[in-house]
Chains A and B, each alone.
Chain A
Amino acid sequence: MSKTTLTRRGMLRTGAATGAGLALPTIFTSGASAFTNEPGDSEVVLGFNVPQTGPYADEGADELRAYELAVEHLNGGGDGGMLNTFSSKVLDGTGILGRKVSYVTGDTQTKSDAARASAKSMIEKDGAIMITGGSSSGVAVAVQGLCQEAGVIFMAGLTHSNDTTGKDKKANGFRHFFNAYMSAAALAPVLEKLYGTDRSAYHLTADYTWGWTQQESIAAATEAMGWNTVNNVMTPLASTDFSSYIAPVLNSGADVLVLNHYGGNMVNSLTQAVQFGLRDKQVNGKNFEIVVPLYSELMAKGAGENISGIVGSQNWDWKLEDEGTKAFVQSFGTKYGFPPSQAAHTCYAQTLIYADAVTRAGSFNPCDVAAALEGYEFDGLGNGPTLYRADDHQCFKDVLVVRGAENPEDEFHLVEIVEVTPVTQVTYPPDHPMFAGGDLGSCNPGA
Chain B
Amino acid sequence: MLGLSKKDTRFLLIVIALTLLTPILLQPFPEGSGLAQFNAGYPDLMQRFAIFGIFAIGFNILFGLTGYLSFGHAAFLGVGSYSVVWMYKLLSYNILPGLILAVIVSGIFALAIGYISLRRTGIYFSILTLAFAQMSFNLAYSVLTPLTNGETGLQVYTDDPQILAGENSPTSPHLFGIVMRDNFWQPSVGGWEFTFNYGYYFCAIVAILAFYLSLRIFRSPFGMMLRAIKTNQTRLNYTGLHSRPYTLAAFVISGMYAGLAGGLLAAMDPLAGAERMQWTASGEVVLMTILGGAGTLMGPVLGAGFIKYFENIFSKINDSVLHGWFGWMPDGMEDAIISVSHFFVGKSWHLTLGLLFMLVVIFLPGGLVEGGQRIARMFRRKKTSDSDAEHHPKPAPHVGE
Stretch at the interface among B237-245, B309-317, B373-381: B309-317
Q: A104 within 8 Å of B by Cβ?
A: yes
Which residues on A sit within 8 Å (CB–CB) of B1?
Answer: 1
Inter-subunit contact A57/B347 (CB<8 Å)? yes
In the bound complex, do residue A53 and residue B273 qualify as a contact, i.e. CB atoms below 8 Å apart? no
Interface pick from B99-107, B180-188, B215-223, B382-390? B180-188
**CB closest chain-B residue, reference A163:** B152
Interface size class of B (residues with CB under 8 A): 35 or more
B153 near A124 (CB under 8 angstroms)? no
Contact B347 A107 (CB under 8 A): yes
**A207 surroundings in chain B (CB, below 8 A):** 141-142
| Bound-state Cα–Cα, A1 to B4, Å | 11
Chain A: interface residue total (CB-CB under 8 A): 49
Contact A112 B141 (CB under 8 A): no
Contacts of B33 in A (CB 8 A): none
Q: In this assembly, does A439 line the interface, its C-beta being within 8 Å of a C-beta of chain B?
A: yes
Q: Is the CB of A142 within 8 A of B273?
A: yes
Tell me the nearest residue of chain A to B312, going by C-beta: A121
Please, how many angstroms separate the alpha-carbon atoms of A28 and B186 in the complex? 7
The answer to whether B150 and A209 have CB atoms under 8 Å apart is yes
* Closest A residue, CB atoms, query B81: A113
Q: Is the CB of A210 within 8 A of B271?
A: no
Instruction: Name the CB-closest residue of A to B158.
Output: A439
Chain A residue at minimum C-beta to C-beta distance from B153? A112
Write out the residue numbers on chain B whose beta carbons fall within 8 Å of the beta carbon of A24: 185
Nearest to B281 among chain A residues (CB) is: A113
Measured between beta carbons, the chain A residues less than 8 angstroms from B246 are none
Inter-subunit contact B44/A236 (CB<8 Å): no
Inter-chain CA distance A207–B48, complex, in Å, is 30
Q: How far is A208 from B153 in the complex, measured between Cα atoms in Å?
A: 11
Q: Is the CB of B153 within 8 A of A141?
A: yes
Q: Which of A112, A145, A236 contacts B142 (CB 8 A)?
A: A236
Contact of A112 among B44, B158, B273 (CB under 8 A): B273
Contact A111 B275 (CB under 8 A): yes
Residues of A within 8 A of B142 (CB): 207-208, 234, 236-237
Nearest-neighbor residue (CB-CB) of B45 within chain A: A121
Please state if A168 and B185 are interface contacts (CB–CB under 8 Å): no
A113-B151 contact in complex given A28-B187, A29-B184, A57-B347, C-beta closer than 8 Å: no
B interface footprint on A272-292 (CB within 8 Å = 1, 0 otherwise): 000000000000000000000
How far, in angstroms, from A168 to B271 measured CA to CA in the complex? 13
Q: In the complex, A210 Cα to B318 Cα: how many Å?
A: 31
Judge whether A208 and B151 touch: CB under 8 Å.
Answer: yes
> In angstroms, how far is the closest chain B Cβ from the Cβ of A211?
9
Q: Provide the bound-state CA to CA distance between A1 and B9, in Å.
A: 13
B233 at the interface (CB under 8 A from A): no
A149 interface residue per 8 A CB criterion = yes
Residue of B nearest to A106 (CB): B316
Do residues B347 and A138 form an inter-chain contact, with CB atoms below 8 A?
Answer: no
Complexed CA–CA distance, A208 and B138 (Å): 10
Beyond A52-B346, A57-B347, A142-B153, is A236–B269 a contact (Cβ under 8 Å)? Answer: no
- A-B pairs under 8 A by CB, number: 123
Does A337 have its Cβ within 8 Å of any Cβ on chain B? no
Q: Are B315 and A106 in contact (CB under 8 A)?
A: yes
Find chain B residues with CB under 8 A from A209 CB. 145, 149-152
Q: Which residues of chain A come closer than 8 Å to B350, judged between CB atoms?
A: 53
Given known contacts A141-B153, A439-B157, is B271 in contact with A112 (CB within 8 Å)?
yes
Complex contact A441–B158 (CB within 8 A)? yes
Interface residues of A in 309-333 (CB under 8 A from B): none
Question: CA–CA, A28 to B155, complex, Å?
Answer: 32
Would you call B344 an interface residue if the criterion is a C-beta within 8 Å of the partner chain's C-beta atoms?
no
- One digit per residue, 1 when the CB lies within 8 angstroms of any chain A CB and 0 when it does not, for chain B 258-299 equals 000000010001110101101000000000000000000000
A106 to B37, CA, bound (A): 13
A120 at the interface (CB under 8 A from B): yes
Q: How far is the CA of A142 from the CA of B81 in the complex (A)?
A: 15
Residues of A close to B141: CB separation below 8 A: 207-208, 237
Contacts A142-B152, A149-B181, A210-B151; A236 near B138 (Cβ below 8 A): yes
Considering the chains assembled together, what is the distance between the CA atoms of A408 and B42 in angstroms?
A: 51
Q: Is the CB of B316 within 8 A of A116?
A: no
| B159 adjacent to chain A (CB < 8 Å) | yes
- Which partner residue on chain B sits nearest A29 by CB separation? B184
Asked if A118 is at the interface of the complex by the 8 Å CB criterion, the answer is yes
| Docked-complex contact B152 and A168, CB < 8 angstroms | yes
Is B172 in the interface zone, CB < 8 Å from A?
yes
Contact A120 B269 (CB under 8 A): yes
How long is the Cα–Cα vector from A439 to B275 in the complex, in angstroms?
26
Q: At the interface, yes or no: A89 with Cβ under 8 Å from chain B?
A: no
A118 x B275 contact (CB < 8 A): no
A19 at the interface (CB under 8 A from B): no
- The reply to whether B273 and A117 form a contact with Cβ atoms under 8 Å apart is no
| A107-B155 contact in complex given A28-B185, A124-B44, A125-B42, C-beta closer than 8 Å | no
Say whether B43 faces chain A, with CB atoms less than 8 Å apart. yes
Provide the A1-20 mask, 1 if CB < 8 A to any CB of B, else 0: 10000000000000000000
- Could you tell me the distance in whole angstroms from the C-beta of A97 to the nearest C-beta in chain B? 22
Q: Mark B131-175, 1 if CB is under 8 A from A, else 0.
A: 000000010011001000111110101110000000000001000
User: Which A8-50 residues sit within 8 Å CB-CB of chain B?
Assistant: 24-25, 28-29
Which residue of B has the minimal Cβ distance to A50? B347
A121 engages B273 (CB within 8 Å): no
Specify which of A113, A208, A210 lies most central, judged by the most chain B CB atoms within 10 Å of its CB. Answer: A113
Please report the C-alpha to C-alpha distance between residue A107 and residue B151 in the assembled complex, in whole angstroms.
18
Q: Is B126 interfacial (CB-CB < 8 Å)?
A: no
Within 8 A of A (CB), among B344-400: 346-347, 349-350
10 sample A-B contacts, Cβ–Cβ < 8 Å, listed by A number: A28-B187, A53-B350, A57-B347, A112-B152, A112-B275, A125-B39, A137-B151, A137-B152, A146-B271, A207-B142
Query: Which A residues form the contact surface with B (CB < 8 A)?
Result: 1, 24-25, 28-29, 52-53, 57, 68, 103-107, 111-114, 116-118, 120-121, 124-125, 136-138, 141-142, 145-146, 149-150, 161, 163, 167-168, 207-210, 234, 236-237, 437-439, 441
Given contacts A105-B316, A112-B273, 5 further A-B contacts (CB under 8 A): A25-B185, A52-B346, A57-B347, A142-B155, A437-B157
Q: 7 shortest A-B CB distances, which residue pairs?
A: A52-B347, A112-B273, A208-B151, A120-B44, A138-B151, A25-B184, A207-B142
